[in-house]
Amino acid sequence: MAYSSRRIYQLVLFFLVFSSLMVLRLFYLQIIHGPQLALEGLSIRVQELPVDVARGEILDRNYIPLTNTSQQYSIVVFPGQIEDKTAIAFSKIDNVVHLPPALLAAGLRRLNTNEYPFRLAGVESSTAKQINDMKLPGIVAVAEKVRYGHGVLAAHVVGYINSADNRGVSGIESMYDALLRGSQPEYVAAIVDAGQQLIPGLGYKRMKLATGTRETNVVLTIDKQIQQNVEAIMNRTVLKGAVIVMRPGSGEILAMASRPAFDANHLSQYLEQNSSPLLNRAVSSYQPGSVFKLVVAAAALESKAVKMDDVFFDPGYIDVNNIRFQGWDYEQAPKGRLTITEAMAHSSNPVFIHIALQLGAENLITMAQKLGFGSRTKLDFFGESEGNLPEADQLYPGDLANLAIGQGFCEATPVQLAQAVATIVNDGIKVDPYIVSELTSQEGLTVKNFHDSKPRVRVMSRQTAERVRGMMGAVTQYGTGQAAYVDGFGSAGKTGSAETGRINKTGQGINHAWFAGFTPLKNPEYVIVVFVEEGMSGSNVAAPIFREIATAIVKE
């Protein structure tokens, strides 16, 4: 009897263990591995084409989309469902859509050589309905999102994707591609049987399998309203160039725009243009011209090589090792005796070359490095230039003279100049510029916050920064930058007209135009850098653009 009970106990135990293993196996197959198995099972009887590819939004600081996603309709062709592979296959839709001959010929080639579904053409919503009402075998019109709608802002910041594989190529799209992309595309699919015939009741379906990672949104520091103001003004005034608007206390980029701009939906038409519309000029390097005199002044005051009440003489030129450097207004009368503030206001080349020679290359280069010249910013944009800052021991007196006025080997990006001006506004404390504020989930929950991770480094004394700000105020009040003065709020800054070494058809030298400054004058909120490539004059071209942008922003 005992033996029989033991056998029963063992049998029951066996079935319990076996049942438990079966339940665990079923749980694994249906719950854990189920979606993947479903995908593999469907793949043998589904013909699909990705539409509405999963990708996170790129948002401004107020969570307003910058990608401006819109909707379009596409004719999708499933070659496996079309028996007649001649022009007759498209004749009915051609009567509705009137396809261009070249597009029709390309569609026929793909129909005969490709077993996978493909897009034939884009159509209007009313046309899409007509096509679907025809119920043509192997042809269906589907709605899908367009990543970049009409009038998208901050094109160079947002960047663009390769629609063929949903991968970012430039800008934020590239920098945060892995997070934006996710891996849950939606398909338009034909559900077919073993004979490749549509299964009745299923037909064409939109499907999204719940596998892979969810896409993440990227929230920028960009303010869409400020960006709109900047781009609207640039559309009227800047053929080639860039504008940066930055909050000096935090380093937040409120607007970044480059011209010419581009439409990410039609990239091919921009590839061969001489104006390089895909180039982000905001992070590309150019000679800064007289804006670099701010660095000379800061270095001279910080090292006490110059005092505020020192008086210099400007005869209109200065000779350095038998090389004559003229003032930008050499044809006019010599300026005579000037303080350093007056020399900044009138952008005196002879005085600032004299100060640089007195200061020495080592002190000047050290201050420039502290301000961020010669190294990339923490924006980490693909293709961002580090500019160029020569080694101190490689500078002969003539080279140092050129450097003092932002010429020769000196190159900087608009965002580097914004960082330098912001440091002066911040009483000598440098804050790294940044443009990504946070990452959020599709439900709007914060995944990562970038607000509180910005280091602050003092690079000059408060007194030096205050004195340089005073010089910048003199520039707009009675100097070369009067056209940049903002009524009612005040502004300060520095003009720059950087020689390129090239001449135009009339034999006139071609210059880049700069204005870098801040507004309001008291309690500054915005640092604004305006760069106009081949704009000729910082005073006559860049300064008025600064004023217009600053006025639009502060009056909002």
pLDDT tens digits, one per residue of 182-193: 766 666 766 665
543 assigned to some structural domain: yes
Q: What percent of the chain has pLDDT over 90?
A: 54
- Max mean pLDDT among 12-21, 87-96, 98-107, 431-440 falls in 431-440
So what's the pLDDT on residue 111? 81
Give ∠ CA 443-446-451 in degrees, rounded to 5.
150
More confident residue, 442 or 225: 225
pLDDT surpasses 80 at 51: no
Beta bridge partners, 458, equal 429
So what's the pLDDT on residue 215? 85
485 assigned to some structural domain: yes
Task: Let me know: does 553 contact 229? Beta carbons within 8 Å.
Answer: yes
521 assigned to some structural domain: yes
Q: Residue 451: what residue type?
A: H
So what's the pLDDT on residue 240? 96
Nearest to 482 by CA among 422, 540, 535: 540
79 assigned to some structural domain: no
CA dist., res. 346 & res. 23, Å (int): 85
Nearest to 420 by CA among 493, 499, 471, 520: 493
pLDDT surpasses 80 at 38: no
Is the entire prediction scored with pTM above 0.85?
Answer: no
Nearest to 532 by CA among 512, 553, 556, 516: 512
Looking at 387-495, list the stretches that DSSP marks H as alpha helix, in order from N- to C-terminal side.
Answer: 397-404, 414-425, 462-478
- Max mean pLDDT among 101-110, 149-158, 301-310 falls in 301-310
Q: How confident is residue 46, by pLDDT bands cut at 50, 70 and 90?
A: low
Task: Let me know: does 176 contact 160? Beta carbons within 8 Å.
Answer: no
So what's the pLDDT on residue 197? 58
Start-to-end Cα distance in the chain: 95
Q: Residue 355: what residue type?
A: I
CA dist., res. 300 & res. 304, Å (int): 6
- How many separate domains does the chain show? 1
| Average pLDDT of every residue of the chain | 87
pLDDT surpasses 50 at 416: yes
pLDDT tens, position by position, 459-516? 999 999 999 999 999 999 999 999 999 999 999 999 999 988 888 888 888 899 999 9
Out of 13-22, 100-109, 295-304, 467-476, pick the least confident: 13-22
Q: How confident is residue 43, by pLDDT bands cut at 50, 70 and 90?
A: very low
498 assigned to some structural domain: yes
Mean pLDDT computed over 23-42: 58
Buried b (16+ CB within 10 A) or exposed e, 240-254: bbbbbbbbbebbbbb
Q: How confident is residue 329, by pLDDT bands cut at 50, 70 and 90?
A: confident
The separation between CA 317 and the C-alpha centre of its own chain, rounded to angstroms, equals 42
Task: Let me know: does 253 contact 434? Beta carbons within 8 Å.
Answer: yes
Task: List the structure tokens of 239.
Answer: 């053929």
429 assigned to some structural domain: yes
- The CATH number given to whatever domain includes residue 437 is 3.40.710.10
Q: What percent of the chain has pLDDT over 70?
A: 86
So what's the pLDDT on residue 198? 60
CA dist., res. 516 & res. 142, Å (int): 50
Q: How confident is residue 210, by pLDDT bands cut at 50, 70 and 90?
A: low
CA dist., res. 351 & res. 348, Å (int): 6
By three-state DSSP, how is residue 32 classified?
Answer: helix
So what's the pLDDT on residue 73? 85
The separation between CA 492 and the C-alpha centre of its own chain, rounded to angstroms, equals 27
What backbone phi and psi angles, to 5 degrees, belong to 318?
-145, 135
- Tell me 388's DSSP state: B
CA dist., res. 300 & res. 292, Å (int): 13
More confident residue, 362 or 81: 362
Say if residue 464 is exposed, middle or buried (CB neighbours under 10 Å; 0-12, 13-18, 19+): buried
Domain that holds residue 317: 224-263+281-554
Q: How many CB atoms lie within 10 A of CB 18?
A: 10
- Tell me 345's DSSP state: H
So what's the pLDDT on residue 352? 97
122 assigned to some structural domain: no
CA dist., res. 468 & res. 126, Å (int): 63
- Tell me 381's DSSP state: -
Give ∠ CA 9-12-16 in degrees, rounded to 5.
135
pLDDT surpasses 80 at 254: yes
Q: How many CA atoms lie within 13 A of 543 on its CB side?
A: 25
496 assigned to some structural domain: yes
Nearest to 35 by CA among 202, 233, 213, 230: 213
- Max mean pLDDT among 98-107, 122-131, 409-418 falls in 409-418
